[in-house]
Amino acid sequence: MNELLVFICDGAPVRGEIVSISSAWQAVLERRNDPPVVQRILGDFVGAATLLSASLKFDGTLIIQAQSKGPIQLLVVECKSDLTMRATVKLSVEPADINPNATLDELLDADNTGRLVITLDPSDRQPGQPPYQGIVALQEQQGTVIKPVTSAAEAIALYMQNSEQLDTRIWLASNETHVGGLLLQRLPDSGGYAHLDPQLAAEGWSRIQTLGETITDEELLTLSPQTILRRLFLEESAESGVRSFPSRPIRFSCRCSRAKVADVLRMLGEEEVESILTEQGAVETECDFCAKAYRFDAVDCRQVFKTDLLVDATRPPSSGH
């Protein structure tokens, strides 16, 4: 089960998605050694990234990134429009020092400084054009009280409310083998639902939410999206039609390459790279997402900084000598 199912309701202005990820999630985990409490948070964000990526109609990469002063220093999940994804976490403490019962805000929102940045990087972005970024604070101000955001689902719903102006409900569950999620979104009445009486539309949205609220973590983690859809909307489908589209596969895929590592070395600069070579004999690095090892020895590094060669390579091939 590595799939995402989109459905719409004929009798209510609602679009929904159900996601179930197993081997693609295990591919993320097999390269990592995070404590279960961190795994669950990462898993929830992996589920969220796939649901968001499929719900925002754009072609490119969606990146969910959290930086914090808490035990989770950095969390990154990337999902492309074709639903290939990768994810990583960097901890600021030893895994053994993390409280196994810590909540999201304890791990990601120390001193109320937690921020979630959601970036939409279109595949046709022009050089110099910045990607679109939305920021969600991991606290919610309610009157004079600051309330921490305690789950990935809550953070994503806040983002959708603020950035996309869409009422969104989201349920996420994850464990060491599976990630599951359900997203419900209220569509504008003006869309294909102009025929619906506004009161009926509001009632429809509230009825679908009530059905959504009956979902359990157990169901999200063990059932296929099709089975979940049937169970949740059994009556709804008979009465007013819940229609699903063919499900789409989700895969783990890393975009790292030797050429990208070479770019990083160029950014570091020749002097810095020389000093690493002197100290360690070679530059060795590992991809944060897939743990693939890259090694550049002195000869490789010289190639990286051979700018003449690079300039030549970008010239169109000459037509004979």
Which residue ranges make up the site for Zn ion (CB under 5 A)? 254, 256, 287, 289-290, 292
Give the span between the Cα atoms of 269 and 311, in whole angstroms. Answer: 17
Q: Which is nearer to Zn ion, 41 or 254 (CB)?
A: 254
| Shortest distance, position 307 Cβ to Zn ion, whole Å | 26
| Shortest distance, position 57 Cβ to Zn ion, whole Å | 28
Helix ranges, 119-162 (H): 152-159
Q: Which is nearer to Zn ion, 27 or 173 (CB)?
A: 27
| Shortest distance, position 156 Cβ to Zn ion, whole Å | 25
Letter for the amino acid at 176?
E
Q: Which is nearer to Zn ion, 250 or 254 (CB)?
A: 254
Helix ranges, the chain (H): 23-29, 36-55, 104-108, 152-159, 198-212, 217-222, 225-232, 234-240, 258-268, 270-280, 298-304, 307-314
Contacts of 251 (CB under 8 A, 6+ apart): 2, 24, 83, 84, 85
Dihedral of CA atoms 279, 280, 282, 283 in degrees, nearest 10, equals -90
Q: Which is nearer to Zn ion, 110 or 256 (CB)?
A: 256
H or E stretch at 294: strand 293-297
Contacts of 319 (CB under 8 A, 6+ apart): none
Q: Which is nearer to Zn ion, 56 or 290 (CB)?
A: 290
Find, among 45, 36, 44, 38, the residue nearest to 63 by Cα: 45
Q: Which is nearer to Zn ion, 23 or 209 (CB)?
A: 23
Residue 89 φ/ψ, nearest 5 degrees? -135, 140
| Shortest distance, position 86 Cβ to Zn ion, whole Å | 7
H or E stretch at 67: strand 60-67
Q: Which is nearer to Zn ion, 171 or 289 (CB)?
A: 289
